[in-house]
Amino acid sequence: MLTKKFNKTVIFPILLAVIIIIAIVLLNITGNFSVVNAQELSKGVKSNNSAVEKLPDNFRAAEMDLSISLFKNSISQNKNSLISPLSVTLAMGMTANGAAATTLDQFKKLLGQDRFTIDEINKFNYSLSSLFQSDKHNKVRLANSIWYRNEKTLTVNPVFLQKNADFYKANIFKSDFTSKNTIKDINNWVKNNTDGMIDNIVDTIYPNTIMYLFNTVLFEAEWRNIYKSNEVYEEIFSRSENDSIGVSFMHSMEKFIQNKNAEGFIKPYKGDKYSFVGILPKENISLKDFITTLNGNNFKELVTSYGDEYAQVGIPKFKYAYSKSLVEPLKSLGFTDGFSPSEANFSTMASVPDGNIYISEVLHKTYIQVDEKGTKAGAATKVEMLTGSAMQQPKKVTFDRPFVFAIIENETQLPLFIGTVVDPKAE
């Protein structure tokens, strides 16, 4: 159902596509959009201004734990993997506003370790989103919309719409889901808000599809120090013990990080608000075994372990796409009721005369490209619902075997993206 078309930009767009209640899409946003046939109801659901607050430490810790847990449970063995925790957080946060009873309890446990109410989670997600704003070095935008079926038998709860308007600034559309024009309208909205990077998000609207929620995000940045031509040359990357390939490596002096299981570096993007983190397991530790040791706390400790020591770093250029169903990973984290046709309770989202509303699929698709000038990354999550100075002798860290990487927000150290590279040439 999802297809991707990325234009050839040299900087760092992070697209977070999320489809909820049948779909939330997080991706790149530029310019205006036009909707031909959908009835825009935003005037009826006016967005109130919410206060931006400093994120409490326990919410940051909960978000970090969720980020690492999702990463650990969504990777594929012997394959490049990538997830955008922010995409999943915002998608599930929006969906949670329609949940009740034990389904809501599981959302609260998933999103806040059962420490916060859904209203607090909404407020914190609003403040979390406010961290990702444009400045003179970075271009960051977010937009949200809700589309629901124009049908007398579907009654959408206005409180559900209001909360998503207030905390996620969602625009509301009511549309004829039996019309092919609605598919065109939705795809045009996504295409226009991603500057053509995603031109088709919905192929078919099924009779029991009741609603779509879309969130779009644009993130653009360059390296603070772009790699020069003489800093890029070919070296050998070992995909496994008996399988090596030649790859273009980029070389630079960067802040050195380490713990007992790994070593790596942090390379800032222009403006110093975001950084790329490369993490290489120690020689005697496999990528799989290293990942099992990760948790939110030691990940944060690792990415903040730098001091005055620098390392001569070589990292391969790479780009690839990744797709993963998150149903089983989310179930493994204790979120089960929402996937059950009999146990799911989304009564505060909408009511239908027959059947029960439940989540049938959470599909996560991502794209990453790292080169001399910067990074380009994208993510799509579909939630489908039915009814220092250099040392004189610096260390040398060459990422010539499978490794972990992340793109973090420097204030919180929270990863926007976290993934693995097993094969730099796989696309």
Instruction: Kindly report, residue by residue over 31-71, the tens digit of the pLDDT.
Output: 344 444 566 665 566 677 788 989 999 999 999 999 999 99
Do 240 and 106 lie in one domain? The reply is no
Which range among 63-72, 99-108, 314-323 shows the weakest confidence by mean pLDDT?
Answer: 314-323
Band (109; pLDDT cuts 50, 70, 90): very high
Do 264 and 337 lie in one domain? The reply is no
127-143: per-residue pLDDT in tens?
998 887 767 777 667 77
Distance CA 118, CA 107 (A): 8
Is the pLDDT confidence value at 105 over 90? yes
Do 86 and 120 lie in one domain? The reply is yes
Q: Is the pTM for the entire model greater than 0.85?
A: no
Which range among 14-18, 177-181, 202-206 shows the weakest confidence by mean pLDDT?
Answer: 14-18
What pLDDT is attached to residue 387?
A: 77
Question: Is residue 4 in a domain?
Answer: no
Distances (CA, A) of 210 to 40, 88, 189, 205: 16, 21, 18, 9
Query: Pairing mode, if any, of strands 232-240 and 170-175?
Result: unpaired
Percent over 70 (pLDDT), the chain: 80
Question: Is residue 143 in a domain?
Answer: yes
Do 258 and 208 lie in one domain? The reply is no
Question: Is residue 373 in a domain?
Answer: yes
Phi-psi region of 408 (alpha: psi -120 to 50; beta: other; left: phi over 0): beta
Question: Is residue 304 in a domain?
Answer: yes
Do 163 and 257 lie in one domain? The reply is no
Half-sphere exposure of 79 (CA within 13 A, CB side): 11
Distances (CA, A) of 229 to 187, 248, 314: 39, 11, 14
Band (321; pLDDT cuts 50, 70, 90): confident
Which range among 25-34, 180-189, 327-336, 369-378 shows the weakest confidence by mean pLDDT?
Answer: 25-34
What pLDDT is attached to residue 37?
A: 58
Report whether 261 contacts 279 (CB < 8 A). Answer: no
Band (395; pLDDT cuts 50, 70, 90): confident
Which range among 14-18, 113-117, 347-351, 410-414 shows the weakest confidence by mean pLDDT?
Answer: 14-18
Q: Which residues contact 237 (CB under 8 A, 6 or more apart)?
A: 244, 245, 246, 247, 249, 316, 399, 400, 401, 424
Distance CA 191, CA 197 (A): 7
Do 359 and 348 lie in one domain? The reply is yes
What pLDDT is attached to residue 365?
A: 67
Is the pLDDT confidence value at 83 over 80? yes
- Give how many domains the chain has, as a whole number: 2
Distance CA 291, CA 363 (A): 22
Question: Is residue 3 in a domain?
Answer: no
Domain hosting residue 166, numbered range: 14-222+320-386
Q: What is the DSSP string of 38-76?
A: -EE-TTTSPPPPPPP-PPPHHHHHHHHHHHHHHHHHH--
What pLDDT is attached to residue 28?
A: 33
Is the pLDDT confidence value at 384 over 80? no
**CB-neighbour burial class of residue 31 (10 A; exposed 0-12, middle 13-18, buried 19+):** exposed
Do 141 and 90 lie in one domain? The reply is yes
Do 336 and 410 lie in one domain? The reply is no
Distance CA 306, CA 64 (A): 19
End-to-end CA, the chain: 19
Do 91 and 236 lie in one domain? The reply is no
Query: Pairing mode, if any, of strands 274-281 and 403-409?
Result: antiparallel
Residue showing tokens 């847990």:
69
Is the pLDDT confidence value at 304 over 50? yes
**CATH code, 76:** 3.30.497.10
Is the pLDDT confidence value at 22 over 70? no
What pLDDT is attached to residue 376?
A: 61
Question: 3-state class of 201 per DSSP?
Answer: coil
* Residues paired with residue 322 on neighbouring β-strands, in sequence order: 366
Question: Is residue 6 in a domain?
Answer: no
189-234: per-residue pLDDT in tens?
777 766 666 667 777 888 888 887 777 666 677 899 999 999 999 9
What pLDDT is attached to residue 390?
A: 32
Q: What average pLDDT does the structure give for the chain?
A: 81
Which range among 161-165, 298-302, 330-334, 384-388 shows the weakest confidence by mean pLDDT?
Answer: 384-388
Do 143 and 245 lie in one domain? The reply is no
Do 179 and 50 lie in one domain? The reply is yes
Query: Pairing mode, if any, of strands 211-220 and 170-175?
Result: unpaired
Percent over 90 (pLDDT), the chain: 38
Report whether 314 contacts 251 (CB < 8 A). Answer: yes
What pLDDT is attached to residue 43?
A: 57
Band (30; pLDDT cuts 50, 70, 90): very low
Is the pLDDT confidence value at 260 over 90? yes
Is the pLDDT confidence value at 153 over 90? no
* Residues paired with residue 254 on neighbouring β-strands, in sequence order: 311
Question: Is residue 65 in a domain?
Answer: yes
Q: 231: which DSSP letter?
A: G
Question: Is residue 1 in a domain?
Answer: no
Counting other chains too, the contacts that 100-103 makes at CB distance below 8 Å and 24 or more residues apart are 100/345, 100/346, 100/347, 100/348, 101/345, 101/347, 102/337, 102/343, 102/345, 103/337, 103/338, 103/343, 103/344, 103/345, 103/346
Sheet holding 211-220, edge to edge: 39-40, 170-175, 139-149, 211-220, 14-20, 375-386, 358-370, 318-325
Q: What is the CA radius of gyration of the chain?
A: 21
Cite the beta strand spans of 88-198 per DSSP E.
Answer: 139-149, 155-156, 170-175
Task: Provide mean pLDDT across the span 292-317.
Answer: 94
Q: Give the relative orientation of helices 101-112 and 85-96 as an angle to the nearest 10 degrees.
A: 150
Do 31 and 143 lie in one domain? The reply is yes
What pLDDT is attached to residue 26?
A: 33
Alpha helices in 208-310 (DSSP H): 287-293, 296-303
**CATH code, 313:** 2.30.39.10
| Helix (H) or strand (E) run with residue 115 in it | none
- More confidently predicted of 117 and 133: 117
